[in-house]
């Protein structure tokens, strides 16, 4: 009996260990699969959120463009008649139904007030006088001030009466602050949220002011803008119509959208909630700020757009319908099968334990024990194998010496059965990049997960490899799961090729259009008047800008596809800097800035493609001039650690800390207002950084908002 008792205790320990190991492996696989499912749902939702945010961004740009169209009308004419304003603006209102009202607000100095009121009455505005509301809301004659901004022309998108003619908009403190900011910056400026008296309780609105300066007068500095201001074009935007019209182009798939104005004070940031048309969820009241919204859901996606100068937070949350539609149940199937097999194994071992009690002799008992042990480990191996086969990806287990100990069926179909016993790096190395990032080199804890990416596997495929620390056969090992992402990478490559192809196809018609406009401007087909000449000049300027955008797209496409060939020669970088600085001196003097160089006396030679480095320096200097209103720009260079180190520093507006990690990404623009002037593509810095990297150099940036930005790059010292 003593022998039977000891045997029973030994089998019991083995059964419990097998059950614990099976459950641990089941939950580990459940965790891996659940995390993969959750990441996939989050990725799908983020794409939907970005699509909707892009629509809102496009609509905000349409609004600003509409105001600039009216601005161009005033810039091309000495005086705009009421009928001209009515016809022109009604066309814009019909194309942009979310615009509730557009007004012309001339600037009237106090010394011109009486003459202006008399002229307005002669112009058909009977009883016109510059007014302001009293405490009872009645309009009375405005008190004496240095200047007024009365409503002169007003066009509404519906039959409702517009703002009363003569009402001085600047009497309202919030609007006064907005028009002063617009006047001083030369850019469109919007107010915070407003309530419409004509649509009480239905939603918020806002006003956008675009300054118009006297035709032909300078307005580069703040003083010139204040002196030569002619007035403002004002648009009243009804936010519910603005959002719903923008989102009407996309199919409803279960995305709730909360919009906040981060430029407003706390408690006044919420401006609109778009409820998904398919959801049946009971939606709680919108929180007062986007930070509280993030705490409601781990799937929340916040994106930023700009309407005029207002920073809008577009926070998207998935509905339960969205999550249900994209949920997969593979993780629960893995857990269920793993637990079931673990329990069956435990029952099986218990049965074996019961049968061993019936063994009567020591020889038979030991013989049976050997047989049971063999059966037990075979069952445990089969159990583990059955769970691992469920995984829909290639999987192997590698020990700390990089030896492959186990593979599943999917891995065998990819690399062959003979992979067992080989070194892992001999099968899927990708120019040693995967091996350099291997978790086995730095150590990985049991249960810890790490991701890596390998190229050039199986004849050119790309895999995402998920490493998880596990215990296999009593030893610390790493389980590797291979997810084929070749198709996704190919889609990204095709996208880049598409951009390149479209850019090439646009060049020829653009060149023809530009040449045709130039011929008309030169008077070849016949004489044109000044107004026609102004309009054609604006069109030619925009064609030139579009051509520059296409050139940037082609540059980034060539760089990413590896088609750029560098013609290197030993070049003095200091001389190159002086050449570029000389070309910028007119623009710098025009803005009243000071440009300085800090260069050593000796030559700083490096093997570079001269045109490419000139392109980099030109881009950095152009940005410095563009975003610096006062102060200076310093271009410095020197030799350090066998490298030529160059920097461009300015005292401009700087870059916010949260934008620094995205600074060199494609299509990223920071610190740019939506006003007049040069508008870039967000490709310049990305191209510049890649050019430097093609020269085996590095580029980085340092910035502090309000104090300036410094870009630095290095080039290998020439021999």
Average pLDDT rounded to a whole number, residues 366-390: 65
Q: What is the pLDDT at residue 83?
A: 81
My answer on whether 235 and 350 are in the same domain is no
Query: Which CATH number does the domain housing residue 594 bear?
Result: 3.30.565.10
Q: What is the pLDDT of residue 677?
A: 44
Contact 652, 709 (CB under 8 A): yes
Q: How many CB atoms lie within 10 A of CB 122?
A: 9
- 443: Cβ contacts below 8 Å, ≥ 6 apart: none
Give the residue with greater pLDDT, 29 vs 58: 58
Query: Does residue 413 belong to any structural domain of this protein?
Result: no
423 in any annotated domain: no
Domain assignment present for residue 658? The answer is: yes
What is the rounded CA–CA span in Å between residue 283 and residue 257? 12
362-390 helix and 330-356 helix, angle to the nearest 10 degrees: 180
Q: Are residues 112 and 81 in the same domain?
A: yes
498 lies in the same domain as 525: yes
What is the per-residue pLDDT for 361? 60
Q: Which residue has the tokens 């997810």?
A: 483
668 and 593, same structural domain?
Answer: yes
Domain count, the chain: 5
Phi then psi for residue 90, to 5 deg, are: -60, -35
- Gap between the Cα atoms of 142 and 661, Å rounded: 51
- Residue 142 in contact with residue 131, Cβ under 8 Å? yes
Output the pLDDT for position 515. 79
Q: What is the pLDDT of residues 411-445, one digit of tens each?
A: 887 888 788 888 877 776 555 555 666 666 667 78
Determine what percent of the chain is predicted with pLDDT higher than 90. Answer: 24
Using CA atoms, how far apart are residues 188 and 210, in angstroms rounded to an integer?
4
What is the three-class DSSP state of 708?
A: strand
Q: Of 188, 212, 244, which residue constitutes the final position of a domain?
A: 244
- Output 492 or 394, whichever has higher pLDDT: 394
Q: For 461-505, what is each residue's pLDDT tens digit? A: 787 788 888 888 888 888 888 888 888 777 767 766 766 666 567
The whole-angstrom separation of Cα 216 and Cα 78 is 10
Whether residue 696 sits in one domain with residue 616: yes
| Residue 422 belongs to some domain of the structure | no
Distant-in-sequence, close-in-space partners of 631: CB < 8 Å, separation ≥ 6: 593, 594, 650, 651, 652, 708
Q: Is residue 272 part of a domain?
A: yes
pLDDT value at position 675? 39
pLDDT tens readout for residues 173-204: 889 999 999 999 999 999 999 887 766 667 89
Quote the crossing angle between the two packed helices 2-75 and 82-95, to the nearest 10°.
160
Neighbours of 244 (CB within 10 A): 12
> Are 133 and 91 within one domain?
yes
Q: Is residue 409 part of a domain?
A: no
Q: How far apart are CA 660 and CA 614, in angstroms?
A: 24
CB distance 105 to 231 below 8 Å: yes
Together in a domain, 268 and 353: no
| Tokens of residue 407, six digits | 């593979």
Q: Rounded to two decimals, what is the model's pTM?
A: 0.46
CA distances from 682 to 168, 303, 501, 628, 656 (A): 40, 17, 19, 18, 16
Q: Where is the domain boundary, 205, 226, 244?
A: 244
From CA 234, how far away is CA 239, in angstroms rounded?
Answer: 15
Domain span holding position 315: 251-326
Specify the higher pLDDT residue, 684 or 560. Answer: 684
Phi, psi of 155 (to 5 degrees): -125, 130
Residue with tokens 């200076």: 632
Summarize pLDDT for 62-113 with one digit per residue, the tens.
899 989 888 888 877 777 888 888 888 888 888 888 898 999 999 999 999 9
Statement to judge: residues 107 and 186 lie in one domain: yes
DSSP 246-270: HHTTS---SEEEEEEETTSPTTS-E
Distance from chain centroid for Cα 618: 25
Radius of gyration of the chain (CA): 35
DSSP 626-679: HT-SSSEEEEEEEEETTEEEEEEEE-S----GGGGGGTTSTT---S--SSSS--
Taking the C-alpha atoms of residue 155 and residue 235, their distance in angstroms, rounded to an integer, is 10
Mean model confidence pLDDT for the chain? 81
Q: Cα dist. 688→1, 136, 468, 654 in Å?
A: 84, 61, 38, 19
- Which residues does 455 contact at the CB level (< 8 Å), separation at least 6? 430, 431, 433, 462
Residues 653 and 668 in one domain: yes
What are the φ/ψ torsions at residue 176 (nearest 5 degrees)?
-60, -45
Confidence at residue 672, expressed as pLDDT on a 0 to 100 scale:
45
- The pLDDT of residue 3 is 47
Q: Of 244, 266, 287, which residue is a domain's last?
A: 244
Looking at the fold, whether 314 and 362 belong to one and the same domain comes out as: no
pLDDT at 435: 64
Q: Smallest Cα–Cα separation from 130: which of 148, 155, 118? A: 148
Beta carbons within 8 Å of 53's beta carbon, 6+ residues apart: 303, 305, 314, 316
At residue 205, the pLDDT reads: 92
Q: Are residues 537 and 651 in the same domain?
A: no
Domain contains 87 = yes
- Give per-residue pLDDT as tens, 247-288: 888 877 788 899 999 998 888 889 999 888 777 766 666 776
604 and 572 Cβ atoms separated by less than 8 Å: yes
Please indicate, yes or no, whether residues 596 and 519 belong to a single structural domain of this protein. no
Tally DSSP H helices, then E strands, for the chain. 19, 26
């Amino acid at each position: 009996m003593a022998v039977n008792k000891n045997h029973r205790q030994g089998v019991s320990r083995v059964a419990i260990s097998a059950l614990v190991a099976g459950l641990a492996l089941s939950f580990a696989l459940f965790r891996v699969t659940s995390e993969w499912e959750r990441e996939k749902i989050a990725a799908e939702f983020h794409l939907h959120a970005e699509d909707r945010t892009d629509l809102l961004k496009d609509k905000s740009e349409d609004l600003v463009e509409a105001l600039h169209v009216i601005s161009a009308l005033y810039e091309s004419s000495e005086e705009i008649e009421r009928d001209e304003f009515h016809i022109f603006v009604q066309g814009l209102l019909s194309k942009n139904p979310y615009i509730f009202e557009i007004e012309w607000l001339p600037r009237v100095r106090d010394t011109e007030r009486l003459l202006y009121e008399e002229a307005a009455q002669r112009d058909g505005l009977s009883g016109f006088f510059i007014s302001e509301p009293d405490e009872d809301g009645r309009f009375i004659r405005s008190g004496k001030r240095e200047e007024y901004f009365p409503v002169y022309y007003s066009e509404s998108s519906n039959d409702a009466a517009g703002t009363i003619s003569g009402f001085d908009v600047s009497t309202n403190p919030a609007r006064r602050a907005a028009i002063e900011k617009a006047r001083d910056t030369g850019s469109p400026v919007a107010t915070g949220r407003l309530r419409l008296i004509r649509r009480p309780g239905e939603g918020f609105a806002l006003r956008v002011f675009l300054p118009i300066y006297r035709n032909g007068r300078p307005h580069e500095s703040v003083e010139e803008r204040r002196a030569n201001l002619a007035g403002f074009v004002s648009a009243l935007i009804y936010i519910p119509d603005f959002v719903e019209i923008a989102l009407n182009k996309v199919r409803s798939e279960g995305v709730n959208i909360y919009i906040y104005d981060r430029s407003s004070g706390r408690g006044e940031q919420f401006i609109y909630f778009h409820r998904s048309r398919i959801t049946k969820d009971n939606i709680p009241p919108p929180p007062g700020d986007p930070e509280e919204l993030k705490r409601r859901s781990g799937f929340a996606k916040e994106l930023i757009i700009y309407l005029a100068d207002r920073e809008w937070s577009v926070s998207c949350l998935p509905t339960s319908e969205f999550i249900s539609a994209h949920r997969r149940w593979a993780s629960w199937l893995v857990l269920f099968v793993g637990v079931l097999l673990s329990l069956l194994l435990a029952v099986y071992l218990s049965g074996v334990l019961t049968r061993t009690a019936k063994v009567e002799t020591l020889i038979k008992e030991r013989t049976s024990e050997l047989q049971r042990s063999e059966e037990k480990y075979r069952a445990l191996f089969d159990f583990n194998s059955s769970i691992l086969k469920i995984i829909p990806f290639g999987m192997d287990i590698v020990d700390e010496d990089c030896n492959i100990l186990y593979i599943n069926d999917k891995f065998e179909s990819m690399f062959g059965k003979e992979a067992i016993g080989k070194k892992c790096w001999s099968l899927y190395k990708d120019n040693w990049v995967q091996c350099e990032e291997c978790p086995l080199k730095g150590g990985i804890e049991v249960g810890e997960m790490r991701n890596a990416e390998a190229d050039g596997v199986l004849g050119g495929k790309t895999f995402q490899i998920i490493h998880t620390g596990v215990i296999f056969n009593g030893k610390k090992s790493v389980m590797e799961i291979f997810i084929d992402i070749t198709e996704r990478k190919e889609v990204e490559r095709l996208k880049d090729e598409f951009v390149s192809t479209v850019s090439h196809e646009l060049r020829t018609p653009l060149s023809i259009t530009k040449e045709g406009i130039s011929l008309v401007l030169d008077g070849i087909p016949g004489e044109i008047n000044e107004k026609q000449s102004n309009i054609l000049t604006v069109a030619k300027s925009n064609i030139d800008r579009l051509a520059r955008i296409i050139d940037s797209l082609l540059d980034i496409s060539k760089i990413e596809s590896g088609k750029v060939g560098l013609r290197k020669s030993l070049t003095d970088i200091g001389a190159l800097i002086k050449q570029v600085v000389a070309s910028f001196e007119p623009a710098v003097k025009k803005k009243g800035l000071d440009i300085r160089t800090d260069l050593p006396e000796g030559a700083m030679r490096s093997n570079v493609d001269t045109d490419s480095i000139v392109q980099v320096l030109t881009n950095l200097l152009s940005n410095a001039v563009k975003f610096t209103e006062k102060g200076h720009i310093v271009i410095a260079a020197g030799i350090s650690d066998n490298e030529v180190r160059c920097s461009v520093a300015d005292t401009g507006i700087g870059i916010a800390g949260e934008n620094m990690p995205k600074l060199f990404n494609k299509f990223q623009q920071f610190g740019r207002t939506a006003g007049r002037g040069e508008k870039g593509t967000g490709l310049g810095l990305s191209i510049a950084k890649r050019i430097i990297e093609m020269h085996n150099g590095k580029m980085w940036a340092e910035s502090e908002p309000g104090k300036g930005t410094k870009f630095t790059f290095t080039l290998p010292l020439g021999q």
